[in-house]
Amino acid sequence: MSTSTLRLGLPTVGHAPSLSSRTNPSERHALTSSSSQRCAASAIRTSSLVLSFLLLLFVQPSAQQRDPVSDFCRRFGHQTAVVDNKLFIDGGILNWSPVAGNYTNTWLLYQDLTEVAESGMPQLHANLSKNATIPSVHGGALWGDDVNKRIYLFGGEYLQDAPSAHFELFAYDILHDQWDALGPPLSRDIQSASYGAGVAVSSRGEGYYFGGWLSNASVPDWGAGPPVATTGLVRYSMDSNEWANVTGPDAIRRAEGAMVYIPAGDAGMLVYLGGVQDLYQNGTATAQPMDEVFLYDVLSSKWYTQETTGTTPERRRRFCAGVTWAEDQSSYNIYLYGGAPPPEDEPGAGFDDLYILSMPSFTWIKMYPNSTDTGDFPHHSLSCNMAPGGAQMLIIGGSFPTTQDCDTPGQWGTHNADLGRQNNNSSPWELFVPNKTSYAVPTDILSVIGGAATGGATKTAPASGFGHRDLAVLMTRKADVAARTPTRDVERGADGDGGAGSGPALSTGAIIGIALGGLALLAALFAGGCCIARRRRAKRKGAVPAGGCALPRPDVRDGVVSYPDDDLFIEPLAPRAGPVSARRPFRHMSGHPSSCRRILGRGSTSLGTLPSRRLSSISTCRGRCQRTKSAGCPKPTSPAEPAAAPAVQSRHARQ
């Protein structure tokens, strides 16, 4: 690794001859005045040296510190939640630009869903508190509480560090921008699992987590044994801080699927689908059939199994899903995106496709792409979050096995699915629109279940019938959940000074600048004090040393300080061989799929008005178009400056 060196020429203490008592007063006054000038100059030199040393200590490390907004390249394995129009992103694994390697995301980030950046996606912010005592994990769950304004971090595994000796739940207080430790569960049946299926039911004040892996990356003192999946459903009561481990649908251990909540039945239902089964408890996973889903009635704590029909997705794991429903709740529609193939189907790269499971007909419908293709940029270990209103689903990040491009860094790896195709092009992909808060059932679904955009589905039962007669009744009912009362004063907290988005926090540069200024002032005061003290001693002795007032020389040989010239040669952190991907480490993440025909983004926007980083992406895509002779390539223009790192631009376009 190349290094640069900086030699600090520290002043030495001078030894002037003492002024003789025979020196006359005028000569003594002249010498004292000259010595005072030398003393002041020495103080200035000392302050400059101290400031230079402090700059070396503080500024150089800060230059190497990466910014999660401006230096973003890719992310995966993170956990997310939406509360009060803010999409929180915690943990996961990051790739920086241009450094290649896997790094733990130690920030709690958020995207404000009421504002849109120039890129057409919600602006990413990194000004929330999170210190080293809060776990930074991947494969966990964030449970959002809209009523008490908190998010809870459960589960996950560590990329590099060993799991904490004692598992406990942490909650982020949105109103006061602080984390609270809520202690460990009283029951030993509750363990911290990873890559299970988590969902929060804020209206009931409950968080759920089904399945997931127990391993030496998530459980302390696990040992060298293989990872083992769980069979149960963990339930957490937010208001009482109580836990329960509910029996699963059967004795099979499962992980890496997805689970959503629908307001059907008497108090709501959970729907679980996909993922893998751990049949042998030896680290070997097999696929969970995609034509079989499990439903959990939260009121009766009873499980049901239901077969599905239609265009069933390929077996997969580590995908993401979100749910929305018609205005009259005649259909509940689960949107499923992406994922990785199960171990027995590898070496398939994975999926870049969008499917819909419409209930109560339990029919699968393929929304994107149109053919039997699985997409151009398969990826997994990503997140899906419904925007308020249920009309849009924000898809963030993912691990991309087929490309090394950054995942639309100008959009921070965020992509938006327009679930009702409510745009001029009737496209499933569109830039984010904050005020699009009403879901319209798209023609993809209407052509199968009937009805209109607001509901009125005519196909209200599975083609093969319900798996249990209770389901036929539960799916016709709308959940009646009483309004939940906050357990704390959220109004006063909302008017306080803290909280997400309460105001811009001081940047790292500003904090360092303030610290350096303060330390430089202290150094100057110290040097000045040295001068005054030496002058007083000199007056008492009748002399002032000619050397001024220099600090004692430190006990160093030659004042050489070396530091890395840059961090471009940092070796990638080796991810754990997790309980997935046939026990292989994660591949590098890379860019999200894009369309050369939509690379210009906002319709007829001219190249001259686009930011330089976007011009680089357009240039990259233009070259790809010309190589593949794709239709709709932009017309040749003067080339833009090459980008420092390739970046695939988003597929979203506003026509």
Dist. CA 164–CA 536, nearest whole Å: 58
The whole-number average pLDDT for the span 115-143 is 97
Cβ neighbour number for residue 569 with a 10 Å cutoff: 10
Q: Indicate whether 468 pLDDT > 70.
A: yes
Say what the pLDDT of residue 347 is.
72
pLDDT tens-digit series, residues 589-605: 333 333 333 333 333 33
Question: Which of the pair, 502 or 623, is modelled with greater confidence?
Answer: 502
Burial of 10 per CB tally in 10 Å (0-12, 13-18, 19+): middle
Decide which of 3.40.50.720, 2.130.10.10, 2.120.10.80, 3.40.309.10 is the CATH code for 72-494: 2.120.10.80
pLDDT tens-digit series, residues 410-458: 999 999 999 999 999 999 999 999 999 999 999 999 999 999 999 999 9
Residue 80 host element (H or E): strand 79-83
Q: Which residues contact 517 (CB under 8 A, 6 or more apart)?
A: none
Return the structure tokens found at 165: 């000796």
| φ and ψ at residue 648, rounded to 5 degrees | -85, 125
Say what the pLDDT of residue 650 is.
57
What is the value of pTM for the model shown?
Answer: 0.72
pLDDT band at 527 (very low <50, low <70, confident <90, very high): low
Say what the pLDDT of residue 586 is.
29
Q: Indicate whether 638 pLDDT > 90.
A: no
Question: Which of the pair, 335 or 343, is modelled with greater confidence?
Answer: 335
Dist. CA 86–CA 103, nearest whole Å: 24
CB 431 within 8 A of CB 455: no
Question: Which of the pair, 43 or 441, is modelled with greater confidence?
Answer: 441
- Gyration radius from the chain CA atoms: 31
Question: Which of the pair, 531 or 112, is modelled with greater confidence?
Answer: 112
- Amino acid letter, 106: T
Calculate ∠ Cα 340-346-352, nearest 5°. 35
The mean pLDDT value of the chain amounts to 77
Question: Which of the pair, 609 or 55, is modelled with greater confidence?
Answer: 55
pLDDT band at 366 (very low <50, low <70, confident <90, very high): very high
Q: What is the number of helices (H) and of strands (E) in the chain?
A: 6, 36
Return the structure tokens found at 329: 């709740």
| φ and ψ at residue 357, rounded to 5 degrees | -105, 110
Say what the pLDDT of residue 519 is.
58
What single DSSP character describes residue 163? P
Residues of the chain with CATH 2.120.10.80: 72-494
Say what the pLDDT of residue 531 is.
53
Dist. CA 552–CA 25, nearest whole Å: 30
Return the structure tokens found at 200: 């929060």
Q: Indicate whether 51 pLDDT > 80.
A: no
Q: Indicate whether 4 pLDDT > 60.
A: no
Say what the pLDDT of residue 65 is.
81
Say what the pLDDT of residue 647 is.
52
The 3-state DSSP composition of the chain as helix, strand, coil percent (nearest 5) reads 20, 30, 55
pLDDT band at 525 (very low <50, low <70, confident <90, very high): low
C-alpha 649, offset from chain centre: 19
Which of these, 262, 241, 80, lies nearest to 148 by C-alpha position?
241
pLDDT tens-digit series, residues 610-632: 333 332 333 333 333 333 333 44
Question: Which of the pair, 71 or 532, is modelled with greater confidence?
Answer: 71
> Which range (221-225, 258-262, 589-593) has the least confidence?
589-593
What is the percent of the chain where pLDDT is above 70?
A: 65
pLDDT band at 607 (very low <50, low <70, confident <90, very high): very low
The whole-number average pLDDT for the span 74-88 is 98
Q: Which range scores top for mean pLDDT: 266-275, 524-533, 626-635?
A: 266-275
pLDDT tens-digit series, residues 207-220: 999 999 999 999 98
- Amino acid letter, 546: A
Question: Which of the pair, 221 or 388, is modelled with greater confidence?
Answer: 388
> Which range (110-119, 501-510, 580-589, 601-610) has the least confidence?
580-589
